[in-house]
Amino acid sequence: MRTVLSCTLLVAALAAGATGCGSDGHPLSAKPYDAAGQIAFNGPAGSQKADPDKPLEVTAQGKDGRITDVTATDSLGRYVAGELAADGSRWHSTSPLAAGAAYTVKVSTEDEEGSPGRKVLTFETRDAARKGRLDVEFGPEAGQYGVGMPVTAKLSKPVTDKKARAIVERSLEVRSEPATEGTWHWFEDDKLHYRPKDYWPANAKISVSSHLEGVKIDDKLWGGEGKPLKLTTGSKIEAVVDAGAHYMTVYRNGEEINSVPVTTGKPGWETRNGTKVVLGKEYVVRMTSRAIGAAEFYDKQVYYATRLTDTGEYVHAAPWSAGSHGYANVSHGCVGMSTGNAAWFYGIVQPGDIVRTINSYGEYLPAYGNGLGDWNMEWKDWLKGSVVNAGLREGQTHHDEARLRPSV
């Protein structure tokens, strides 16, 4: 026991720079010497810039020393993976370098007597050609949203190769406080959405960032710019529209706060079932029969309009159908109600809040292509749209079109 304790104290003292437990001449107590003459580096000379496609290599020179450690990082703190030979004769990188990046390589050595050497090397890599850059634009705009708002990523170029998609996906980071399980889903070659398994937590902070800059994606494509994004969520507001009962019930954080009579889509114009994310609010919208191809003519100024789909499904005031509210479905797909109830709903919702329609004879809103129907895809199917997480089971995820046509 004494021997173990004394060794522990010796290591601690040495780590702190003390020499009380050994002689001043102990190799581990010496200041590292300049290892410049002991190693060779294949990096660029002078002001030249390195080819990011070319691996790094550090080799030991002569027979009187060896390499003990190499650490290479860029200015963003990203590490370069590498392998060190067992005899310390050579270290080489095993992951690609970033284009247009500044690197620091710290090399540790020791001589035949065990004395430590040190050399710090710096260099820059060449920029990627602009035509070969993949930029990313995140959405929505920074601000506060409801708990149903997905994060979107629009790429400047299509990415089809599976390995390239994996590089892109791993470089797009979404973090939330509190933390929640979620992943990206590729809807198109240049469009991804990120959503949690369930909704975002209420009053959450969400940060979105790209680590793509300078990263090699394939032989002709390198990561480009991606402006970070910060979002917050408010209370969980969810409206459930029961088309069969002709009522809309609104919940805040799981507690009912109001239930109002409504009318939904009549036969041939049935309101779509499923979960819809509020896209925006318009105090007044002009809605016409011509816009949706309805046979019966109408041309109305509609107030307190909360948009749910790209094709013009709204929750709005419909005083002309007051006699049907709570009794019959007579609209062309929208959820209509009294002006007072529409004004109240308009006042409490924000983009990202949830409106869920049930018991309608309409089809289900698709997960993509007509607003934000992301929540209409089951989680197991959502995972399949991720290259990185497609093979994972629930609970294993890394924490890491239509024309605008208002209807009434």
**Which residues does the chain have with pLDDT short of 70?**
1-30, 128-131, 289-295, 297-298, 391-408
Q: How many structural domains compose the chain? A: 4
Q: Are residues 261 and 342 in the same domain?
A: yes
Would you call 334 a catalytic residue per the annotation?
yes
Domain stops at, among 78, 93, 124: 124
On whether both 355 and 299 belong to a single domain, the answer is yes
DSSP label of 132: G
Q: Is residue 241 situated within a structural domain?
A: yes
- Residue 207's pLDDT is what? 98
Question: Which pLDDT value is given to residue 408?
Answer: 42
- Say yes or no: 202 and 223 in one domain: yes
What is the pTM assigned to this prediction?
Answer: 0.74
Q: What is the pLDDT of residue 14?
A: 36
Residue type, 165: R
| Same domain assignment for residues 169 and 91 | no
- Given this model, what pLDDT does residue 407 score? 39
Backbone angles phi, psi at 325, to 5 degrees: -65, 125
CATH of the domain at 331: 2.40.440.10
| Cβ atoms 60, 39 nearer than 8 A | yes
In a domain? residue 166: yes
Looking only at the bridges linking them, the beta strands covering 229-233 and 143-145 are parallel
DSSP state letter for 368: S
As a whole number of angstroms, the distance between CA 87 and CA 319 comes to: 84
Task: Measure the CA–CA gap between 160 and 101, rounded to whole angstroms.
Answer: 26
- Provide the CA 354 distance to its chain's centre, in angstroms: 21
Q: Are residues 99 and 14 in the same domain?
A: no
332 is catalytic: no
Is residue 117 domain-resident? yes
Q: Which amino acid is at 250?
A: V
Residue 377 backbone zone (phi > 0: left; psi -120 to 50: alpha; other: beta): beta
Is 270 found in the same domain as 147?
Answer: no
Burial of residue 310 (CB within 10 Å: 0-12, 13-18, 19+) is: middle
Q: Which of 185, 193, 316, 332 is catalytic?
A: 316
Q: Which domain holds residue 347?
A: 237-377
Q: What is the CA radius of gyration of the chain?
A: 30
Contacts of 274 (CB under 8 A, 6+ apart): 356, 357, 364, 365, 373, 375, 376
Tokens of residue 256, six digits: 């009912």
Q: How far apart are CA 284 and CA 357, in angstroms?
A: 23
